[in-house]
Structure 1
Amino acid sequence: MRFRTQFVFSLFFGQAVSHLKSFGLNPLEIAVTLLSGPICGAVFQPYFGGWSDQCRSSWGRRKPFILIGTVALVFSMLCLAWADSIVNLSTQAFLPRNTSNGVIEATLAIISMLLTFIIFVAIQAIQVGLRALITDNCTPIQQAEANTWAGRHINFAGVLAYLAAYLDLPRHINGIGKTVFAHTSILTIVYLTMTITITCWYSTEKQYAAPTSNRIRHSASFRMLRSLSLGPYTQVRTICVVQFFSWLGWFPLLFYTVTYVTSLQGSHTAEYGDMGALAPLVHSIISLIVAGLLPNRLSTGVSSSEINSAVWLNSRNIWIASNCIFAISMLSTFFVTSAFGTVLLFSIVGVSWAVTSRVPYTLLAEELSRPSTHWNKEDLSDSKGLIYGIHNLAICLPQILVMCTMGMVWAVTETQDGSLGIVWFLRLGGVSTMLAAYFATKLVETV
């Protein structure tokens, strides 16, 4: 179910920086633009989640957010893909002929930033609706199956998006766009529309009682936030803590792999091919293979105290191992300095991405499906969208911290070289992921 949004994320992870560079944006402006992604995730996903919990539309609780978000996403992606052409045509039609290039470039930068913001807002509505659909409509066993296939589809979408980027479609197809982003966006929109239509057509939602008043709903929401932030270490809170430290490492890798590997390759692109585009493709292929090999049911909600202690293949232990693999790979950049070696090194991280795409959501869905001793049952059943939003907040906050720090580095150094310092952020990400592995040991074991 998360296949279609992952296609969009893969497109942004692999090509957003290069696409925005083609519009003349400098590294600081690109950092500010991409910063809108985690900010939207931190602000809008909890908001959309809580709103959808109380929605009583004839379409259902989640579908209105999914459908409206899809329309906004398709429109804004098309506009961003050809923003330069749109701005040029608009300036020719509405501005004097002697308009300076500086004005046109500033307009293009502002339009690009605005469209990117709309894309990220739309994604939040789609994501929280799709994730909550799984928890709303599935039994715990069905949720495990759904999250398994969602993880596989996430990685399959990544392979398709990165493959389209690696093939350098503008070289083979003329007249559609000047950048890989523009060409790949067409493929992304087609798959997005198809899969969203299938999901909304075949999924059914339960009918719920009339929504509670805003005052009661806000009170329940604040109770939930206070419990997760200041209360005892529940399973949900621990999952969020692990995600926070994990995504301090994931964000620079996902957005700046192409830039970093390309900087290592230097002027040898013609000789060795585009290693920058190859790195995320190999990474996604490894992720797809691992996602296919992982068993369907890593956990069934049975406490470890009720099973033989020899059983170790559970969600918690696999998540710990995947964080350790990520940390070792990032710290290995001290020793691996060639483009080809870095491609091989980053491909190993595909194992960690396959686990990250699935295990946290499986653990969270399990926890929301079992009776809670920390929250009122009614609060929990009516706040699943909010909890998914809070979980996404734990993913987005570290991205905001990393991007702000990277932006400050580029602002202070006043460099046009976006690769400056990226390797140090990757290494620091490895250290933070070691902390994520430590906190993952605090999770309750399930098999």
Structure 2
Amino acid sequence: METGSTTDKSPFQVEQAPTTTSPTSSPPQPSQLWKIIVVASIAAGIQFGWALQLSLLTPYVQLLGIPHKYSSFIWLCGPISGLIVQPLVGYYSDNCTSRFGRRRPFIAGGAALVISAVILIGFAADIGHAAGDPLGKTSKPRAIAIFVVGFWILDVANNMLQGPCRALLADLSDGSSDRTRTANTLFSFFMAVGNVLGYAAGSYPNLHKIFPFALTSACDGYCANLKSCFIISVVLLLVVTVVALFSVSESKHSKESFQGGGEGKKIAFFGELLGALKSLPRPMFILLVVTALNWVAWFPFFLYDTDWMAREVYGGEVDDHGLYNSGVRAGALGLMLQSVVLGFMSIGVEIVARHVGEVKTLWGGINFILAVGLGMMVLVTKLAAHNRRYDASGNALPPSPGIKAAALVIFSVLGIPLAVTYSIPFALACIFASDEDGSGHAGLSLGVLNLAIVVPQMFVSFLSGPWDAVFGGGNLPAFLVGAVAATVSGVLAITMLPSPGPDQKQIVIP
């Protein structure tokens, strides 16, 4: 714990343990593993909802009447909210003195907002129709407005929930770099579990039969399935969050512990965030650059993956519900297979890293895999178009088994780099933020790292839709930009991330 002035102190500096210890105190020990597992399991509830967003909502907004070239603007709410909300929540969770702990009040609030948001999204068509939207394939402005409000709330809530969860994992690790990496590996594993469940639910066309009330005059089969998926999402998130909040306790932190025993003065949030950015150590700066380029590569895939399968691979159009919806379900199946690979790879990251030896080699290598995967999506698109089959009426038929298998293989292989993207950057940020008393600045550190994620998302969301429209309305231009960004990210990771050394042991996986 610091004493005195904190003016020139970087919140990312890893402090050395004190050389003397009080005879009545002992060094902090990492919490029991089961506590870390319980908190990490919240990721399954979060990611179930994210899986539904990534696989079903881009097609859904087009069914509500938003053109493809404008659909990417809907996704701006995530980056914009993340730009503000996660650093803000991270900072105030670092300095929270609630009797319930630093992180748990924010986790509870975030979960409540997620549940409210998915209800708005799932029932947007019904609420819009009740407010005056017409039935049929015409544009539904009221449903769109309700959907956008729910979508904004959902992204704010997810940012409010994820940051404190990862920060709580860092708190439970008590500054141990090994335990911090294990905690983030488990978080990544449960993200994979949530993805598998979410994509499986999204790919099953008759899920709405479990909830007969989901099918209404304003909400067709596709909409009813989406609504049913979100109902399951609410139940899952509620269960894992309640279990974690009631089984893992936090100590109350006094205000003095954040103010240098009363001698220091707490810096205002934006001042501390600006100070953190101005005083970034070189490893953290490189981490932000590599992460930013990494997400320039990933976000086009996350934004358009199922739409790519439905349009470019299956040859469907939004108005052609049969073929397009079949492609969306096939894309959800591909994302589920990807999540299975993600789950196994998340557990194996530590093993692979030990054989590779250095973070920069591992991270660079997986970015090259990502670049090749995005490039192969372009190749599969060309092959699908070249081999497109039509019936006697001139309607496109589903792709051949070979084309579909190639697309599914791409989805699956991309689960390998995704496991590293979901674990290593966050573990490094937590390690940089830890100090000797375990209080650390993990919330602020993860908030700053989040800037390297949301700014690229804003860049892609602003430019990909209009750019795709210029090139004919497809998804390929965004994938090509992603492939280039992944390549550059890999090169920078290998050439600029620090090599192992005595002063860098904390940032190198042994």
Shorter chain as denominator, the TM-score bin is: 0.7 to 0.9
Counterpart-to-counterpart distance in 2, 1:279 and 1:421: 19
**Equivalence for 1:258:** 306
Q: Give runs of aligned pairs for residues 190-339 of structure 1, distance below 5 A.
A: 190-210=235-255, 212=259, 216-218=265-267, 222-228=271-277, 230-231=278-279, 233-263=281-311, 264-266=313-315, 269=323, 274-295=329-350, 298=353, 312-337=356-381, 338=384, 339=403
Deviates more, 1:176-185 or 1:52-61: 176-185
Contact kept, 8 Å, 1:88 with 1:104, in 2: the verdict is no
| Structure 2: tracts of 5 or more residues without a match | 1-39, 216-220, 317-321, 385-402, 501-507
Counterpart-to-counterpart distance in 1, 2:235 and 2:135: 37
Specify whether residues 241 and 100 from structure 1 end up closer, same or farther in structure 2 by C-alpha distance, changes over 3 A only.
same
1:397 maps to 2:435: no
Counterpart-to-counterpart distance in 2, 1:238 and 1:106: 44
**Residue 424 of structure 1: which of 469, 474, 477 is its match?**
477
Q: Deviations over 1:3-62 (max 9, x none)?
A: 221222111111111222232222244322211011111111111111222221111111
SS in 2 for 1:168: coil
Counterpart-to-counterpart distance in 1, 2:299 and 2:109: 27
**Residue 435 of structure 1: which of 488, 497, 503 is its match?**
488
**Equivalence for 1:124:** 159
Note the C-alpha offset of 1:315.
3.4
1:184 maps to 2:229: yes
**Residue 136 of structure 1: which of 166, 171, 192 is its match?**
171
SS in 2 for 1:175: helix
Contact kept, 8 Å, 1:144 with 1:296, in 2: the verdict is no
**Residue 353 of structure 1: which of 418, 443, 457 is its match?**
418
Specify whether residues 164 and 236 from structure 1 end up closer, same or farther in structure 2 by C-alpha distance, changes over 3 A only.
same
Q: Give runs of aligned pairs for residues 31-70 of structure 1, distance below 5 A.
A: 31-70=72-111
Q: Deviations over 1:289-325 (max 9, x none)?
A: 22233337957xxxxxxxxxxx633433222211110
Contact kept, 8 Å, 2:181 with 2:424, in 1: the verdict is no
What amino acid does structure 2 have at the position aligned with 1:192? Answer: L
Q: Deviations over 1:191-236 (max 9, x none)?
A: 10111111111222233221559x94345753553453x4465222
Q: CA RMSD in A?
A: 3.1
Q: Deviations over 1:274-293 (max 9, x none)?
A: 43332212222222222233
**Equivalence for 1:161:** 198
Q: Deviations over 1:128-159 (max 9, x none)?
A: 11011011221313322211211111111111
**Residue 467 of structure 2: which of 381, 405, 409 is its match?**
409
What amino acid does structure 2 have at the position aligned with 1:116? Answer: F
**Equivalence for 1:82:** 123
Contact kept, 8 Å, 1:44 with 1:124, in 2: the verdict is yes
Note the C-alpha offset of 1:410.
6.0
**Equivalence for 1:308:** none
Deviates more, 1:182-191 or 1:327-336: 327-336
**Equivalence for 2:30:** none
**Equivalence for 1:307:** none
**Equivalence for 2:26:** none
What amino acid does structure 2 have at the position aligned with 1:74? Answer: I
Contact kept, 8 Å, 1:330 with 1:430, in 2: the verdict is yes
Specify whether residues 248 and 205 from structure 1 end up closer, same or farther in structure 2 by C-alpha distance, changes over 3 A only.
same
Note the C-alpha offset of 1:407.
3.4
What amino acid does structure 1 have at the position aligned with 2:497? Answer: L
Specify whether residues 298 and 370 from structure 1 end up closer, same or farther in structure 2 by C-alpha distance, changes over 3 A only.
farther
Note the C-alpha offset of 1:186.
1.4
**Residue 343 of structure 1: which of 397, 408, 415 is its match?**
408
Counterpart-to-counterpart distance in 2, 1:54 and 1:285: 37
What amino acid does structure 2 have at the position aligned with 1:325? Answer: I
Counterpart-to-counterpart distance in 2, 1:232 and 1:289: 34
TM-score (norm 1): 0.84
Q: Give runs of aligned pairs for residues 13-28 of structure 1, distance below 5 A.
A: 13-28=54-69
Contact kept, 8 Å, 2:434 with 2:440, in 1: the verdict is no
Report percent identity of matched pairs: 23
What amino acid does structure 2 have at the position aligned with 1:354? Answer: A
Contact kept, 8 Å, 1:368 with 1:384, in 2: the verdict is yes
1:147 maps to 2:195: no
Note the C-alpha offset of 1:255.
2.0
| Structure 1: tracts of 5 or more residues without a match | 93-98, 300-310, 372-376
Counterpart-to-counterpart distance in 1, 2:435 and 2:358: 18
Note the C-alpha offset of 1:259.
0.4
Counterpart-to-counterpart distance in 2, 1:103 and 1:324: 43
Counterpart-to-counterpart distance in 2, 1:22 and 1:100: 12
SS in 2 for 1:248: helix
Q: Deviations over 1:361-408 (max 9, x none)?
A: 22222222367xxxxx9xx95532111111111101000000100233
Specify whether residues 22 and 197 from structure 1 end up closer, same or farther in structure 2 by C-alpha distance, changes over 3 A only.
same
Contact kept, 8 Å, 1:137 with 1:205, in 2: the verdict is no
Counterpart-to-counterpart distance in 1, 2:357 and 2:135: 63
What amino acid does structure 2 have at the position aligned with 1:37? Answer: G
Deviates more, 1:346-355 or 1:390-399: 346-355
